[in-house]
Amino acid sequence: MGADDKLENAGEKLGGKAKEAAGKLTDDKGLEAEGKGDQVKADLKGAGEKVKDAFKKD
């Protein structure tokens, strides 16, 4: 996984956390769910990159 991919995923996860928090503060369930979704998407991207890296090493 490249450093730029790691930074992008970290940024997406932080953005998701911010959306989730904003949704909770404003009682906006849609924004809160969108934030959680962004976090899951970032986690899945990271996992996919780790799998690709594992196959590159062999």
Answer yes or no: is 24 within a domain: yes
pLDDT class of 43 with cuts at 50, 70, 90: very high
Q: Token pair of 17, please?
A: 């956390």
**pLDDT for residue 44 is more than 60:** yes
**23 touches 31 (CB < 8 A):** yes
Answer yes or no: is 58 within a domain: no
Domain membership of residue 35 as a residue range:
3-52
**11 touches 41 (CB < 8 A):** no
Sequence letter at residue 14: L
Sequence letter at residue 32: E
Answer yes or no: is 35 within a domain: yes
Distances (CA, A) of 43 to 25, 47, 56: 24, 6, 20
pLDDT of residue 58: 56
Answer yes or no: is 57 within a domain: no
**pLDDT for residue 54 is more than 90:** no
Query: How many domains, the chain?
Result: 1
Answer yes or no: is 10 within a domain: yes
pLDDT class of 50 with cuts at 50, 70, 90: confident
